[in-house]
Chain A
């Protein structure tokens, strides 16, 4: 007889992982299902890495409400889980008179959304805060709460904590068919595996509309909105002190320039609606637009080296708000259309969804113990293992640097490969440890990392390097 889970969560991005974590407080058996070979591999991993206050969300929307609630929850969770974060504050700059005139309404909106520390500042103040900005600013809006965060650690922290609290994680499980059975259970099938559960939560991101259709609904369609970004060399970090935001338009928050918690500068994203949900390629046109915009805002960027470029797809829909709905009769909750604020809103969404589950008839009884999690620190602001004399004395591998650009030690790589959610791919190692994310992009360490990964996981190098599929062909 197959085990019947109380809840199956489809999608291990920031949102799905946060829901799994939230439910793991209760006396339930839950399973977190992910199509890809790791958690946090979709929209979650390729975004602007900002922890939003929600100051500019449309007042009265669920998005505004959950962003606000999530902000409060994250304040405690970030230090608890050791997530790299720097509270730099955001500086929205008006570059035209027209943009300047929108500042009072943006201020009013922020106040309506409960973000009360936002204030309008003069052009002089803009340049006091950011002396390297190009000339021509009319003024700005200062949003002290906007912060930079590690988007890689967040879903890993949520999912790891869920796993530590007995949630089952099923990777490489692309859901193909969902069947509501007469016995009150739901059958969830992939091409090679299946499981049974009582409740389904759809947090499938870009594919949330397709899962929704399996339940017979057609409330929304996800249009992948590509955002391309450029990461600049760490030597550029000193050019800015805050997250430099543009005045948002109805379709996008616009191109921003932001420091990252790893000590780089990020420029992006573009916003382009596509049809292909797998098209995470960068484009020549996208890069050109970014370079133009970036250099217009921060001219000194021109002489800095580019460390990386990437593209992510946001799960945009035809609606202006999140598509979160409970279908109690089907024991199904849809958590779709989490456009571009998933990382920031995830904890708020998770709490809200647990309420919907109760409404749908699931009893949530807290466990006696809810284990916490402390993630390896990969940020720039705190102490990394290679700087920790005690740790190195205990285990010399933490003083053996493998990735020189990002100063990642062998000890960290081994720890990531043997963590509760083990890194099994190069990409998984990159997001957990920062290897290969630096300025040389593997000139020095790529081969060593493939070697370690192959040795420690028992996979063949050919498989790791995508030179063959899993069956050895």
Chain B
């Protein structure tokens, strides 16, 4: 079999992978190869035909497809080797991945590997919503491919499950396709639509006012014979149910890292994030293998992922030069209502200190302290006026400089 050799192999040509590739080239790495299973490079933003991309990384506002094209163009111009329609099928060595493609099968051996495989939304089946298997059930991802990529009909009247930032993306796609929004539901007491940027905020507020966000509401059943005809909504506070007619249901959010390649390689997976366990330098549990972006914890905006890609590129570059690899030593654990944190392990006390950790909670909390313990020793306390579910929060990381790596795991807890 044909074995290719490269300096850095990046799996996934989305914002994380491409910005990492671009950065590596700028740092002088000779051979950077990016593979993607899709027909085109650019990742998820290709499917989001609305503006709001590029704020933190390019300091401009692009539409999703413009943003994706920008990255692909820059990467190619800087000599990044991009292979699309190339699916990673497994690991054949410590740092060798096998692939299939229309050009045949092959293997790629790399000095370092970056996994940037992104995430997907939890579909209806995984949420175990009862009813028949009918047409008209979507995720935001499949909806956007229907509307913008393949120009296929979606229906006339939709229910959006979820009321967070990605639900807004589904909302905009439906509006653009001329589809009525019958309801937007969330099981939480409040909607979680945060406007990522201000210029078009007023348009969104206007749109949202016309849609009804039903809080504390769960879609408890899908009705219909061949096609969705209605959904049963259960109001969690009263227990009452109602039937809402619709011919499409869009399940939004509830992200799962697309960790197939990571798991196939035997990488340690974090229970909270469901992504690969990583330290502050994006190092996984396997030597020479890094992970960054939405694969680490589900969706963040594209620019945040792209900035992570840049950071990861610097860490990879350092590894290529020094060949130093410490290995995970000290796990960082969380206690409910904190659902996850990353980085979620510490490899070594030297090197650059962690500037901050990112974490999420599962319920609304006001005026709380997040405390960091190792055994009974309090390492850090930080107060927050408000914590909300589905919102990533930063915790200061400068307490991580003087740690006993041989002692017990670090633990994050919330106290009122």
Contact = CB atoms under 8 A, between A and B. Distances in A.
Would you list the 5 A-B pairs with minimal beta carbon distance, nearest first? A396-B102, A441-B123, A447-B145, A466-B227, A466-B226
A461 B105 contact: no
B100 A401 contact: yes
Interface stretch (A80-88, A118-126, A131-139, A387-395): A387-395
A286 B263 CA distance: 31
Contact of A451 (B121, B133, B150, B271): B150
B220 interface: yes
B87 A404 contact: yes
Nearest to A389: B105
Interface stretch (A57-65, A301-309, A359-367): A301-309
Contacts of B100: 386-387, 392, 399, 401, 407
A127 interface: no
A306 B132 contact: no
Nearest to A290: B128
B130 A442 contact: no
Contact of A280 (B132, B136, B271): B132
Contacts of A235: 263
B142 interface: yes
B132 A397 contact: no
B142 A399 contact: no
Interface string B302-328: 000000000000000000000000000
Interface in B345-382: none
Nearest to B126: A306
Given A281-B131, A309-B130, A446-B146, 15 more contacts: A280-B133, A283-B130, A286-B130, A306-B128, A387-B105, A400-B102, A401-B85, A404-B87, A407-B89, A441-B126, A446-B145, A451-B150, A465-B135, A466-B135, A467-B153
Contacts of B125: 231, 306-309, 441
Contact of A392 (B102, B141, B142, B146): B102
Among B124, B126, B221, the one with the most A-chain Cβ atoms within 10 Å of its Cβ is B126
A399 B145 contact: no
B408 interface: no
A447 B132 contact: no
A461 B152 contact: yes
B225 interface: yes
A286 to B, nearest CB: 8
A308 B131 CA distance: 12
Q: Would you call the interface of chain A mostly helix, strand, loop, or mixed?
A: mixed
17 contacts: A278-B225, A284-B221, A287-B128, A386-B87, A386-B89, A387-B89, A396-B103, A399-B102, A400-B85, A400-B101, A401-B87, A404-B37, A442-B138, A442-B139, A466-B136, A466-B227, A467-B227
B153 A462 contact: yes
Interface in B276-304: none
Contacts of A401: 37, 85, 87, 100
Interface of B: 1, 37, 85, 87, 89, 100-105, 120-126, 128, 130-136, 138-139, 141-142, 145-146, 149-150, 152-153, 155, 220-221, 225-227, 247, 256, 263, 271
Contact of B126 (A307, A389, A397): A307
A234 B413 CA distance: 33
Interface in A347-397: 386-387, 389, 392-393, 396-397
A344 to B, nearest CB: 25
A442 B318 CA distance: 39
A451 B85 contact: no
A305 B130 CA distance: 16
Contacts of A230: 128
A36 to B, nearest CB: 11
B103 A451 contact: no
Contacts of B102: 392, 396-397, 399-400
A448 interface: yes
A304 to B, nearest CB: 10
A426 B146 CA distance: 15
Nearest to B131: A281
A281 B131 CA distance: 4
B152 A450 contact: yes
Contacts of A441: 123-126, 139
A328 interface: no
Nearest to A46: B133
Contacts of A446: 138, 142, 145-146
